[in-house]
Amino acid sequence: MSQQALFRDQGKGLPKRDRTRLALIDSTVEVIALKGMDLAKISDITDHAGLANGTFYNHFADKDEILQEAAQRVAVEMARQIDEQMRSIESAVTRVVVATTRAIRISVGESTWGAVLIGALQHLPPIRGDILQFLRADLQRGVDQGIFDIELDEFFLDQVASLITVSIRTQIETGDDPVKTARTCESILRLCGFSRAKARKAVAAHTPE
């Protein structure tokens, strides 16, 4: 399902003020994909939405506020979609492979969302923390199940997040590549203490269709 204008579409039937706010959010997502978070300007967002600059300030105090809300909405929606496949999965290995694969597929398939995810991980510490909490939970599950032999601290999470970020960025630039996605999952499992052969076997067995 295409995510273009998703939030705007969710606003159908809501009061005009709410629809306008969601239109600004969608425009922010698309401008980030075009220019990146650092270079995106308020005027870019309002121009893309076909709204006046003054309208922006009726809804948001500044650029940082709308960047954080846009990133938060994307992260929550992605988590919702991923969670649909995760509810009945108990194995930490399976959860890591499925969640990583789905996150990359969604981000590459909807490259605007991928750009927002990358930007949030790099530039928005509060949103980065929200995103990584899901990853941390699955890794901690692996520790509790006696499967992962890791020191689960911020440095370890940074390494895993970097692997996922590089995979998303590369595939946005060069096209969807299941081999790169599988290698990303294998690299994460190897960080968790798996041998190359064991990681490859686990990814082959648990990658979702």
| pLDDT tens digits for range 118-149 | 999 988 988 888 889 989 999 999 999 999 99
> Which top CATH class is 6-67?
mainly alpha
d(CA 79, CA 194): 26
In the chain, where does the domain assigned CATH 1.10.10.60 lie? 6-67
Quick one: pLDDT at residue 3? 54
Quick one: pLDDT at residue 11? 65
> Which top CATH class is 70-206?
mainly alpha
Quick one: pLDDT at residue 136? 95
d(CA 86, CA 3): 21
Quick one: pLDDT at residue 84? 81
Residue type, 120: A
Quick one: pLDDT at residue 2? 44
Chain centroid to CA 23: 20
Please tell me the number of Cα atoms within 13 Å of 14 on its side-chain side.
13
H or E segment to which residue 70 belongs: helix 63-83
Quick one: pLDDT at residue 126? 85
Q: In which residue are the tokens 């506020």 written?
A: 65
d(CA 118, CA 112): 10
Q: Per residue of the chain (209 residues), give pLDDT as tens.
A: 345 566 766 767 778 888 999 999 999 999 999 999 999 999 999 999 999 999 999 999 999 999 999 999 999 889 888 988 788 999 999 999 999 999 999 999 999 999 999 999 988 988 888 889 989 999 999 999 999 999 999 999 999 999 999 999 999 999 999 999 999 999 999 999 999 999 999 999 999 88
End-to-end CA distance of the chain: 16
Nearest in space to 67 (alpha carbons), one of 11, 20, 27: 27
This prediction has a pTM of: 0.88
